[in-house]
Amino acid sequence: MKLKWIILLVAVAIVGVFVVLPIVAPTVTEKTVVRDAQVALGDTCALMNQSEMALSMYDNALSANATDPVILKKKGEMLIKTGRVSEAETVYQQVLSQNKNDTTALMRTGDSLVRQGNLKEALSWYDAALAVNPVDSKIWMRKGDTYLIMSVEENEKLQAAAKALSAQPGTPGYQPVSATQYESMQSYKDAMASYQKAMEIDPRLSVIISTRVLSATQNQVAGYQDLLNNF
């Protein structure tokens, strides 16, 4: 169904709400109805990959209550999706200022930092989220992804150093880092340990995790980008 028809249906529903709610729920105000309608429209736009329109709806809804954690988290999701990760980080900090143990905000702050290249700092946020909820498989997988990105970066640095060294007179030819050497890296081991924990909690993740590891190890550049796209 086209977006315009979905929005039209939502609009019709909103009109119905304005007519019915004052009768059945007198305590519901016009302000809250408008806010909820804007959130519903934002959710619809998000489902249709209309991220900028969704952001506009969430911003309008927040004008009624700028500290609503549910709407703030929806806004943060769209900001990450549109690549505005530093803004997303700020939004999640607003949520955490109200509830320091909000695991979604803790995890998504980590996601924002990964997108900005701050991998070690991101890990600290994932650890904070796991301290609150140690059986959240999604957070464990995010932690594994971050360690895997670190291992890819370390491997690329080793490859570059080996190439530079091989260019020097009197040195042996270039020898790429072997799979055994790569898998012996601590960051790679930490990634596997985190992934293992995620799969123990939710075995359904095994296919996704296997695909990510294979992509990252066999095709470093594409694998690195694929991992980032998951945040």
1.20.1440.230, 3.30.390.50, 2.40.50.140, 1.25.40.10: CATH of 3-132: 1.25.40.10
Domain residues of the chain, as ranges?
A: 3-132, 137-229
Contact 185, 155 (CB under 8 A): yes
* 182 to 150, 153, 158: CA distances (angstroms): 12, 11, 10
Per-residue pLDDT, 24:
47
Per-residue pLDDT, 152:
85
Per-residue pLDDT, 179:
58
Helix axes of 119-132 and 103-115: crossing angle, nearest 10 degrees: 170
Tell me how far apart the alpha carbons of residues 215 and 222 are, in angstroms, rounded to a whole number: 7
Contact 73, 42 (CB under 8 A): no
Per-residue pLDDT, 98:
96
pTM, 2 dp: 0.77
pLDDT in tens, the chain (231 residues): 555 655 555 555 555 544 544 544 455 567 788 888 999 999 999 999 999 999 999 999 999 899 999 999 999 999 999 999 999 999 999 999 999 999 999 999 999 999 999 999 999 999 999 999 999 999 999 999 999 999 888 877 766 665 666 666 656 655 555 556 666 789 999 999 999 999 999 999 999 999 888 887 776 555 556 666 666
